[in-house]
Amino acid sequence: MTKLFGAILVLVGALMFVPGIWLIALGGSWYYSLAGAGLAAAGFYYWKGQLQGAWIFGAVFAGTALWAVWEVGFELWPLVPRLVAPMVLAILAVLLVPSLNEGRGRKASLAAAGVLALGIAGFFWGMATPQNVIANADPVPVREVASDGENWTHYGRTPSGTRFAPFDQITPENVGELEVAWTFNHGDAPSGTGQDQNTPLYVDGLVYHCSPNNIVSAIDAVTGAQVWQFDPEASSPLWQRCRGVTYYEPSLLDDAPGDGSCAARIVLSSVDARLIQIDAKTGALCTSFGDGGAVDLTRNMGEVRPGFYFPTSAPTVMGDRIILGGWVWDGMAVDEPSGVVRAFDGRTGEIAWAWDIGNPAIDTVPPAGETYTRGTPNVWSTPAFDAALGLVYLPTGNAQPDFYGSSRIEAANDWNSSIVALDVETGKVVWSFQTTYRDIWDYDVPAQPMLYDVTTETGEVVPALIQVTKRSQTFVLDRRDGTPIAEVRDLPVPTTGGVEPEYLSPVQPYSVDMPVIGAEPLTEARMWGATPLDHLYCRIRFRQAYYVGDFTPMSEQGTLIWPGYFGGMNWGTGTIDEARGLLIVNDTRVAHLLQLIPRQEADALGVEVVGPHDGLAPQDGAPFGAMRSNFFSFVGVPCQEPPYGTMTAIDLTNRSILWQRPVGTIEETGPFGIRTGWRMPVGLPLVGGPISTASGLTFYSGTQDYYLRAFSSETGEELWRGALPLGSQSTPMSYIGPDGRQYVVVTVGGLNDIMGRGDIVMAFALPEE
């Protein structure tokens, strides 16, 4: 046994010593090479059966413990890769000491092994305990919020996009009694790069769901039975999804059908770039709209190759205007379809206005023979609107190509990654605010703006717009004119070390009065791994990359983007508990590695479609392609320390964190993607968004384990967990049904082909009396 253990120590020592020398050469820690040499020496003596092996191992273990505490202190997760595996080896080392010492010291050996085993048990107990951070334990004041009905008629429930349900039937006291009320199978499970990320609507007894290929189902809100289904027969080569549809009741029509059809409509944008209207009661096409019920969104766009342009988010209906932008296939070329935003007459489908940032003279359709300006920043997320002010608020994306700016038109620099307020009647810009200057990090504004009246430090109540971003910055603006309510400062950022220093902005905007969530600068010491070996691997990858903090310039060496372009906060947005003045958001903490590839080399690599954010972004027409990858260890775990996703409540009155907790366990996925069955709350990357209710509950389902969860909005405590058959990537919704019961509905489409796909809509409610 001592020979086998000795061989293991020699092998582990070699695997630490040789890469450890590499890490030293990169300017990193000396620990791994020194510890590797010590383990190899200890293994040599264990192989020979000599007691010196135990003494050498003991010295290495003691040094490891001192080094670990010196580098990261006593924080649990950072200590795991530094101490747990060495403690396992230490148990074996001490148990074998009697074999090296002619049978002497057996009791002491067993005692030492027991102490080490208790230490490991302590680590695992700590890892199994949610690390909830309470920053303010004072009671949260609650005000009454007037009910505005029982429906959920917009993507964010109301035009304000706060995802706040003013219902109090399900409470923190009875939420544990929730049970499945009904399930519905829509028949269009996602495949390939498709995902079911739909937040359904509820209007007057019907739930409306839209599947990845835009099949719309009307579901009885009490029984879950299908009322009707509409299939637009839409297809796209990738990125099939429908995050929402919109409910629309047109103003009086002179030519309205006598049978009352299409008095209420569902407005749908499809993955093959059509804008479609169907009767909300029957699912029949509203043929008076557009050309037989649909408008071709590729008109006046020039060449649109399959999959290069279509809306993924719900259309915005404001009065009789239908407003929408579109998603473009990121990073493919300089010459991609336009990011134009258009408003259509909701009754006829005729274009009302267009906002083309590359040519403001085009305010409806381009002149004959011309197109909307190509390659401009787009609006792929969901706008919000304020009907009283007559303003619609657009979250803009990046210009093309994503990761190289010098090939863009100049107008793109004024509008990328911004919030832009347009007059809904004319489409003219009223104000704008830019969240990232000259964005080459894919930091487009991904989330729907949230409109909520905040109280300033002077006691003034101001109509605000709250915008969360991929950068983990939260901007709070006066929605009347775009003036920051929470202070914003332009702070210096690096511009050297990349391929285009003359292009970059020397400053970037920071919301200095609002908490920054999970975006502390990376260091070698913050690298992580399940074992010392993948921990070492991640430290080497960190040292190989170019990283000098926020907004590190893009380089041929390979730039580390942190926060990554999945966020921070992403399209799931957040929720505002309007009764308590709390902004509640989920975030993702995954870094990305981006390497610029010279044009000739990029052309030789070609393009393999594995997804719109993976692999090579060719950036045709620019001097560089871009190779994109997650910054993961070789076991498939993010290279920085956990958590990788949290839920956070921010008090909007004092602008501080009320609570924060990791969300998501490794029950369904762990290292190498293996299902562990262990509910260890690491906090995994999150998708979708939360909703909040008047009773003080926050519901969330977008974890990598299979649950719909309910948290206390005031403390962050997990109060209930309802099992789902598969993973969910959607934002839940809630309504009061015709039977008077409050329902919480979530779509369950699965995560990927390995973890399973589904076509399920599920409703939860309290038991019937």
The pLDDT score that the predictor gives to residue 607 is 65
- Reported confidence tier of residue 254, pLDDT bands at 50, 70, 90: low
Q: Quick check: 612 pLDDT over 70?
A: no
State pLDDT tens for residues 706-749: 999 999 999 999 999 999 999 999 999 999 999 999 999 999 99
Q: Quick check: 462 pLDDT over 90?
A: yes
Q: Quick check: 256 pLDDT over 60?
A: no
Task: Output the six-digit token pair for 571.
Answer: 């399209």
Dmax over Cα atoms in the chain, in whole Å? 102
- 87: exposed, middle or buried (Cβ count in 10 Å: 0-12, 13-18, 19+): middle
The pLDDT score that the predictor gives to residue 720 is 97
Beta strand extents in 469-612 (DSSP E only): 474-478, 488-492, 507-511, 559-561, 574-577, 582-588, 592-598
- Reported confidence tier of residue 445, pLDDT bands at 50, 70, 90: very high
Q: Quick check: 362 pLDDT over 70?
A: yes
The pLDDT score that the predictor gives to residue 402 is 92
What average pLDDT does the segment 688-701 reach? 97
Which residues contact residue 547 at a Cβ distance below 8 angstroms, ignoring those fewer than 6 apart? 522, 559, 560, 562
Residue predicted with more confidence, 176 or 676: 176
Q: Quick check: 608 pLDDT over 70?
A: no
The pLDDT score that the predictor gives to residue 668 is 81
The pLDDT score that the predictor gives to residue 459 is 81
State pLDDT tens for residues 540-554: 999 999 999 999 999
The pLDDT score that the predictor gives to residue 222 is 98
Task: Output the six-digit token pair for 769.
Answer: 């009396």
Q: Quick check: 432 pLDDT over 70?
A: yes
Angstrom distance (rounded) from CA 317 to CA 325: 13
Q: Quick check: 27 pLDDT over 80?
A: yes
The pLDDT score that the predictor gives to residue 132 is 66
Average pLDDT of the chain is: 92
Among 705, 559, 696, 593, residue whose Cα is nearest residue 645:
705
| Spatial contact of 309 and 271, defined as CB atoms under 8 Å apart | no
Catalytic residue numbers read 442
The pLDDT score that the predictor gives to residue 46 is 83
Q: Quick check: 257 pLDDT over 90?
A: no
Angstrom distance (rounded) from CA 314 to CA 214: 11
Which residues contact residue 46 at a Cβ distance below 8 angstroms, ignoring those fewer than 6 apart? 2, 3, 5, 6, 9, 53, 54, 57, 93, 96, 100
